[in-house]
Structure 1
Amino acid sequence: MDLPERPERDIAAIKLPEWGRVGPAVAPVPFTVYDDAGEPVEPIHRFLRDFVARGNRPGSVRSYAYTLLRWWRFLRAVDVPWERATSTETKDLVLWLQHTEKPVAKRRKASASTAGTVNPITRKEYQSDQYKPRTVRHSNAVLRAFYEYWIEEGQGPLRNPVPRDRRGSRPNAHHNPLEPFRPEGRLRYNPKVPKRKPRAMPDDAWLDLFKAMDSHRDRAILTLAVSTAARANELLGVRVCDVDWGDQLIRVARKGSGAEQWLPASPEAFVWLRLYLVELRRLRPEQPLWWTLRRQRVEGRLQRVPLEYDALRAVLLRANKLLGANWSMHDLRHTCALRMARDENLSLRDVQTLLGHAHLTTTQIYLEDDQDEVIKRVRQHHAEQERRAAGPPQPAIGPGYDPGDMSVLFGAGGLQ
């Protein structure tokens, strides 16, 4: 059978142009994509406006904007208008992401030698220069949502260029009534994602990280994180009025839903929190709890500003450089979750509530044995085997022998 000739693109030869940028936009859209002339890209801007209206947060808007900017650059590289894109362009983008390296800053020095390697202390892999499967899946999800919006608007291509694989005649034919319904079929070009197991930070590693903190503020944030399992952005959003000193609780706004929840913290965390607040001026209840230690010039005046995620990340980077590690704030969340899951006084439902998981299946990953604990038990097993091998052989005492008779025969010390 003669197949129609359809030349395939040379994926390795595709070079994305340095076109456009992502920048702040006028409210209500926090971020948008601008072209080389400094004008918002209208199809993207209108989609992001609808995206914001659906209750999505600025961080998600920024992430979607960067994904759509990469898509626009890719379409310019292959000379295809956005409204004429097909599944072929989606397939080629996925292939390109799987075989190319991420653009990195020319000034990068420290991370160049560690990219893609495994840290000997944490046994965690450093960020590599390759696009991960999760990045590809996120790209497909963003493009699927973008074209769904424009197809509903009656514009764009007739079919979504990010297709689904529909298998079987009946959608949700074997649906579990205890789980939510899912869209029919997976995205066709989604790569498989390896299952990641959470790992607890060893106690000695936690103490080393804690000792590397050089301020009461940083000690308070770390102890709150490891005792409440709150995410970094959730902790940074805490206000003064969100602290209950009497019951030792903090109130956070959960990621995604924005629902408020009170979390119990350890007494040690409140000790460090109190020491940190003594160093600050008196704060009003509605003000943020966390502030920078160094004053910055704002409107001609030197003053403290609210602590943001990049500044908190810099604190961990300095500590990791000192320790030769690559710990993150999310490692503290995993550590707290695994500690609670092993506590016999806490049920899995309790752990789910504290972690803010919508589904119990998400929390169940913390029931699996931690790799460090398994390694520790296996090492104890090997040590016991060596100890037994080094000792003198003992006589086999069967059911027909009296231990007293064996003692008389071989002496009080057994067989020597």
Structure 2
Amino acid sequence: MARDLEELRVDRRGSVRPGASGVAWLVYDDTGHAIRPVAEFLRDFAARGNSRGSVRSYAYALLRWWRWLEAVGVDWDRATPAEVRDLTLWLQLHPKPRRSPRTGSATTAGTVNQVTGKRYLDDHYAARTIRHNNAVISAFYEFFGDQGLGPVVNPVVRDHRGQGRPNAHHNPMERFRPEGRVRYNPKVPRRRPRALDDDAWGSLFDTLGSNRDRALLALTVSNGARAAEVLGLRGSDVDWGNQRVRVIRKGTRAEQWLPGSNEAFVWLRLYLAEVGGVGPADPLWVTLRKRRGTDGAMTRIPLTYEALRAVLRRANQKLGTNWSMHDLRHTCALRMAGDDEVSLRDVQTILGHAHLETTAEIYLVEDERHTIERVAAHLARLAEPRPEPVPVDHGYRPSDLAVLFGDGTL
């Protein structure tokens, strides 16, 4: 029987909280007990070397799945493809729950910024979020399927059209792996990277209110490091002599040295002179906050991602823009890709992409603004009046011209 997805409501029951026994995050029910199947999966997921952030992301996806199963009245080990299908449709129909209503961003949600050309986020689940949700559910049931538990068939089904028989060349000594495209994954529109031109970068830089913020953004735009990688820098990760910094890559957790511009290191010196320097094991980026339970004394704490977002939010409010830290990464990558002296392999190494195809697919693209400018110039040339033909010299006789060019009577 088809469910009425328009009227179906999913209660916000349970929560994601820090875990124990080596698991950074776990999913808890309303009674405060960890949900056992989810805890078993997350423990195995964490043991395979996945980061705390990935464990947290998977925990929230499974909490969403558990809430959905309670709303439709299906046990987790009795789930079918119908539950995955209906959840995908429900996520596309209903907005994300919010702790508080929008205030200042209510008028811009879902619209396109006229300065940057970027779309503001709205209150609905993005296609990438739904695809990630399906991937987490699939991994969850694959884990229990390997143990002979849970449903006989993974509820996240895959289509194999055009790929021949699934697992046609399977090695009998290895376990089966899912193949094909997830059936209920929504399509993701291809997004072109947005880069700041020199004027936009100058305007953004001028609005920053501290040497710390100037150093951090200048360093990011010069080497394309991700926000989490830059925020993870410590005092020993700065090589002043060779003008480079050492980051921990997001996916592989490998250490990698990245260059920095002269400008970035100048602002970095000015910032460290203000805070009095940092120790080799201390976080490089700090901010001052009042300590709880004291008489208003200020103390240094590491700069968090939310605090960095607040820095950009204040700058965007002044400029009427919606730039993000990832736009600085795109800016660095497109600048390098447009330099004939920098190879695509160099760009891949600096960005930390595992595959060269990823770098080529994202950054070897024609800038949309340049394309629009050239087409607009083409249309302007078509609108220009055509010049009058040069008159034929009057010294020729009309009869001779008719023989040469025809008299136009055909």
Normalised to the residue count of structure 1, the TM-score between the two structures is 0.87
Match of 1:138? Answer: 132
Query: Does residue 1:121 correspond to 2:115, yes or no?
Result: yes
Q: Contact 1:340–1:351 at 8 Å: present in 2 too?
A: yes
Q: Which residue type is aligned with residue 18 of structure 1?
A: R
Specify whether residues 135 and 324 from structure 1 end up closer, same or farther in structure 2 by C-alpha distance, changes over 3 A only.
same
Alignment of 1:333-344 (within 5 A): 333-344=329-340
Q: Quick check: 267-276 or 26-35, which moved more?
A: 26-35
Which 5+ residue runs of structure 1 have no aligned equivalent?
Answer: 1-6, 175-181, 398-416
Q: Contact 1:199–1:371 at 8 Å: present in 2 too?
A: no
Q: Contact 1:199–1:372 at 8 Å: present in 2 too?
A: no
Query: Does residue 1:312 correspond to 2:305, yes or no?
Result: no
Q: Secondary structure at the match of 2:26?
A: strand
Please give the root-mean-square deviation of Cα atoms over the aligned residues, in Å. 2.2
Normalised to the residue count of structure 2, the TM-score between the two structures is 0.88
- The CA distance in 1 between the partners of 2:120 and 2:341, in whole Å, is 36
Match of 1:32? Answer: 26
- The CA distance in 1 between the partners of 2:49 and 2:292, in whole Å, is 31
1:366 to 355, 363, 376: 363
Q: Report the Cα offset of residue 52 of structure 1.
A: 0.5
Specify whether residues 90 and 196 from structure 1 end up closer, same or farther in structure 2 by C-alpha distance, changes over 3 A only.
same
Q: Secondary structure at the match of 1:261?
A: strand
Q: Secondary structure at the match of 1:288?
A: coil
Q: Secondary structure at the match of 1:206?
A: helix
Q: Secondary structure at the match of 1:251?
A: strand
Q: Contact 1:133–1:193 at 8 Å: present in 2 too?
A: yes
Match of 2:374? Answer: 377
Match of 2:45? Answer: 51
Specify whether residues 119 and 396 from structure 1 end up closer, same or farther in structure 2 by C-alpha distance, changes over 3 A only.
farther
Please list the CA deviations of residues 285-322 of structure 1 after superposition, one character each: whole Å capped at 9, or x if unmatched: 11111101x23315746311011101101100111111
Q: Which residue type is aligned with residue 221 of structure 1?
A: L
- Give the percent of matched residue pairs that are identical in Structure 1 and Structure 2: 58
Q: Contact 1:200–1:370 at 8 Å: present in 2 too?
A: no
Match of 1:187? Answer: 182
Q: Which residue type is aligned with residue 169 of structure 1?
A: G
2:80 to 77, 86, 101: 86
2:348 to 349, 352, 371: 352
- The CA distance in 1 between the partners of 2:277 and 2:271, in whole Å, is 12
- The CA distance in 2 between the partners of 1:114 and 1:88, in whole Å, is 36
- The CA distance in 1 between the partners of 2:283 and 2:321, in whole Å, is 30
Alignment of 1:199-210 (within 5 A): 199-210=194-205
Q: Report the Cα offset of residue 21 of structure 1.
A: 1.0
Which 5+ residue runs of structure 2 have no aligned equivalent?
Answer: 170-176, 393-410
Alignment of 1:221-232 (within 5 A): 221-232=216-227
Q: Which residue type is aligned with residue 47 of structure 1?
A: F
Q: Which residue type is aligned with residue 265 of structure 2?
A: F
- The CA distance in 1 between the partners of 2:391 and 2:184, in whole Å, is 63
Match of 1:296? Answer: 290
1:279 to 265, 274, 278: 274
Q: Which residue type is aligned with residue 28 of structure 2?
A: Y
Q: Secondary structure at the match of 1:241?
A: helix
